[in-house]
Amino acid sequence: MSQITGMPVPTAQPPSVRPPTREALLSKRRGWFFGLTGEQAAKLLFQGNATISIIVLALITFTIFSDAVGFIPQNRENLEVYRRAGLELVDLLRGQVQDHSALARYLSAARQAEFARLTAQSHTPADANARLEAYDAFADRHANLIGDHETVLGEMTDLVSSLKERHAVAADLRAARQNLIDGMRTSPPERAAALKAEADAMVIETIDFANEIQPLLDMRPALGEANARLAKALKELNAAIPAVDDPALRRKLVRFQELNTRYVGEIAETERRMMTWDQAKPIGIFESLSAFAFGRKWVTASFWQDWYGIIPLFAGSLLIAALALVIAIPLGVAAAIYVNQVATPVEQKFIKPTIEFIAAIPSVVLGFFGIAVLGETLRRVSQTPWLDWVPGFPMLERLNSTTAACLLALMAVPTIFSLAEDAINNVPRSFKEASLALGATRLQTIIRITIPAALSGIMAAILLGFGRVIGETMVVLLCAGNRIEIPDFSAGLGAVFQPVHTMTGIIAQEMGEVVRHSIHYRALFMVGVVLFLISLLINWLAQKIVRRYRISIG
């Protein structure tokens, strides 16, 4: 050992064998390991490890970004097919037809409400139906007006989807042929010849989109006539609103009139957009990126068109994180103030470790608890009659944003608590003593002196709590309900009880099933990049806040 490391160990050798001190100090140590001394080798070992760690950590950033960046050209291609094959044009018409059906649904919902009111007033169902006869005739008339459009839409859809299908088949074949050609390079000559023959035998269709969608474009004039008929008929319909007794229903009909007028206005707009629609208009890199960053739809494995827009996921993550913080901030900060300023030493001794201990509960266990206990409990509570006034009660779904947020709040509390407590603890004693000496009560001291002095630390604690919440996966995957939709706040605050999907949840759910290097795979990496950047931003902000507002203790 002493030889290897080049250092004499006193206990291992009798003193007599030891070289004289002078000699030991002046003699040059021989290198034993590639000419290095033990000292240098050790340094190299440490340095090497540090280098490995650094390389790995750099690799993490690199891998995520490099896998994500391919998304942009792939999505551009995806959007290009959408335009070239005419799906975009068909979707314009589809939007018009769907708006019409939305109005039809509005009418039928109004009818349902009226029917319920009538039967509640002890009318028999038959009687109620008889009273609504004029209304039904009106609604039917409205619903039938869109028939022509639906026929055209059906024809267009068939045409376009077969076109897209052919394009997909051609792309697959092209990829297969590329595989064969790649295989040729590495295989022996006779095998390569067979591969070449196979590759040459493949018939790959080149689709001339401009030609293929000509029939689609030819349908537009007829559609224009149909539009004119529709607009005229809808205007007539607006004038022929049936007379109803119930004021509520009458109000709804007046509202229908307004909506209908707006719809008529939109017909012309849609027609204009369809006529000026340009199949050859190029799609830029920026458009592809903004389809991700501002896209309001996340639709995958659809037979029609896949969309990778992060907004619904981002909104879901944000909603859950905000809810969780609304619960966690008061609790975490209150606990920090209580433990540091109010609690007795005995309380301090057990509360602090216990709250820190909560951080050790694995998130998947919390998620399981949410499914097994909390979700059902919350729904039961929401069904109690005297809580009817709460918006969104009773809950429709057992697993929703609130269920997930409650559990996430519990995970954020330890983070917020520890850091906030540290910050409060770092406020100089003299601040507090001066305040107390001036006659302030303890509460006044806490509110006016201690908290303002510790505010930067508390803010940083909250930010890091937010980071913890937004990056959490298992709880939201298990408890948030996983419905990919932007929470609809038009119905008021009740939206907090809607199920949502999140950025972390979508990665965990879909990553296992995607094809390598497909657009979907890359889209998930893009979501990962967004998460990565958010966490960096939060960390940076927290550090900045702490540094900037740190009180100088003179």
Partner 1 sequence: MSAPTQDAKIFAKPTAAKRAEKGVFWLLRLGTYFVLACAVFIFLDIGIKGGAVIFQTKAPFINLPFLTQAPETLNVFELNGKKTTMGDREFRAFKEQHADQLKGVNIETYVYSAGGIFPNIVGTILLVVGSIVIALVLGVLSAIYLSEYATDSPFVRFLRLSIVNLAGVPSIVYGLFGFGMFVIALDMGVSLLAGWLTLAFMVLPIIITASEEALKAVPKGYREGSLALGATKLQSILTNVLPYALPGILTSSVLSIARVAGETAPIMFTAAFVVRDELPWQVEKATDFLFQGVMALPYHIYVVASKIPQNEYTHGVQYGTAFVFLFTVAAIAMTSIVLRVRLRKKYKW
Hey, which residues between 17 and 56 contact partner 1 (CB under 8 A)?
A: 25, 38-39, 42-43, 45-47, 49-50, 52-54, 56
Site for partner 1 in 499-518 (CB under 8 A): 504, 507-508, 511-512, 516
Rounded Cα–Cα distance for residues 317 and 409 (Å): 14
Tell the smallest beta-carbon distance from residue 79 to partner 1 (Å): 24
**Tokens coding 502:** 């999140």
- How many residues are there in the chain? 554
Q: What is the smallest separation between the CB atom of 414 and partner 1, expressed in angstroms?
A: 9
Residue type, 50: A
Instruction: Tell me which H or E stretch contains 434.
Output: helix 429-437
Which residues, numbered 279-338, are part of the site for partner 1 (CB under 8 A)? 330-332, 334-335, 337-338
What ranges in 497-518 are assigned the alpha helix state H? 503-510
Tell me how far, at minimum, the Cβ of 310 lies from partner 1, in Å: 15
Q: Hunting for tokens 């000699």 — which residue is that?
A: 23
526 counts as binding partner 1 under rule CB under 8 A:
no
d(CA 401, CA 409): 12
Judged by CB under 8 A, the residue of 86, 367, 465, 481 near partner 1 is 367
The residue (of 86 and 505) whose beta carbon lies closer to partner 1 is 505
Q: What does the alpha-carbon distance between residue 422 and residue 472 come to, in Å, rounded to a whole number?
A: 24
Identify the residue among 161, 300, 363, 425 touching partner 1 (CB under 8 A).
363
Number of residues that bind partner 1 (CB under 8 A): 87
Least Å distance between CB 353 and partner 1? 5
Minimum distance from residue 183 beta carbon to partner 1 (Å): 17
User: Can you tell me the distance from the alpha carbon of 147 to that of 123, in angstroms, rounded to the nearest whole number?
Assistant: 34
CB of 352 to partner 1, least distance (A): 10
CB of 485 to partner 1, least distance (A): 20
Residue number, 184 or 358, with CB nearest to partner 1: 358
Distances from the Cα of 529 to the Cα of 63, 65, 113, 294, 470, angstroms: 10, 7, 48, 15, 14
User: Minimum distance from CB of 469 to partner 1 (Å)?
Assistant: 10
Q: Is 508 helix (H, G, I), strand (E, B) or coil?
A: helix
Residue of 92, 259, 371, 546 that binds partner 1 (CB under 8 A): 371
Residues 399-418 binding partner 1 (CB under 8 A) are 410, 413, 417
Q: Which of 20, 188, 353, 385 binds partner 1 (CB under 8 A)?
A: 353
**25 contacts 18 by C-beta, under 8 angstroms:** no
Tell the smallest beta-carbon distance from residue 182 to partner 1 (Å).
16
> Residue 110 or 327: which CB sits closer to partner 1?
327
Residue from 356, 397, 422, 485 touching partner 1 (CB under 8 A): that is: 356
Footprint on residues 124-163 left by partner 1 (CB under 8 A): none
Q: CA end-to-end span of the chain, whole Å?
A: 52
**Residues 316, 488 contacting (CB under 8 angstroms):** no
Under rule CB under 8 A, which residues in 59-118 are in contact with partner 1?
59-60, 63-64, 67
Supply the minimum distance, in Å, between the C-beta of residue 288 and partner 1: 21
Helix (H) or strand (E) holding 298: strand 298-299
In terms of CB distance, is 33 or 357 closer to partner 1? 357
Rank residues 318 and 331 by Cβ distance to partner 1 and give the closer one.
331
Please identify, using beta-carbon distances, which residue of 281 and 442 lies nearer to partner 1.
442
**Do residues 158 and 123 touch, judged by C-beta distance below 8 A?**
no
Contacts of partner 1 in 238-277 (CB under 8 A): none
Q: Helix 38-69 vs helix 71-84: angle between axes, to the nearest 10 degrees?
A: 10
Helix H or strand E segment including 441: none
- Residue 371: CB minimum distance to partner 1, A: 5
Residue closer to partner 1, measured from CB, 464 or 495: 464
* Neighbour count for residue 38 (Cβ, 10 Å): 16
Tokens representing 81 are 């097919």
**Are the C-beta atoms of 64 and 525 separated by less than 8 Å?**
yes
DSSP β-ladder status, 307-308 and 298-299: antiparallel
Q: Which of 116, 130, 197, 364 binds partner 1 (CB under 8 A)?
A: 364
Q: Are 335 and 417 in contact (CB under 8 A)?
A: yes
Are 339 and 347 in contact by the 8 Å Cβ rule? The answer is yes
User: From CA 549, how far away is CA 455, in angstroms rounded?
Assistant: 8
Nearest one of 271, 260, 180, 186 to 222, comparing CA atoms: 271
Question: Is the four-CA dihedral 526, 528, 532, 534 of positive or negative sign?
Answer: positive
Q: Which of residues 434-493 bind partner 1 (CB under 8 A)?
A: 439, 441-444, 464, 467, 470-474, 477-478
User: Least CB distance from residue 12 to partner 1, whole Å?
Assistant: 14
| Residue 302 beta carbon to partner 1: minimum distance, rounded to whole angstroms | 23
361: left (phi over 0), alpha (psi -120 to 50) or beta: beta
For partner 1, which is the closer residue by CB, 1 or 553?
Answer: 1
C-alpha of 87 from chain center:
26
In the beta sheet, which residues pair with residue 33?
36
Interface region with partner 1, contact rule CB under 8 A, candidates 93-101, 121-129, 242-250, 529-537: 529-537
For partner 1, the closer of residues 39 and 225 by Cβ is 39
Q: Which is nearer to partner 1, 67 or 114 (CB)?
A: 67
Q: Given candidates 368, 393, 431, 549, which one binds partner 1 under the rule CB under 8 A?
A: 368
Binding piece for partner 1, criterion CB under 8 A, among 89-97, 370-378, 385-393, 427-435: 370-378
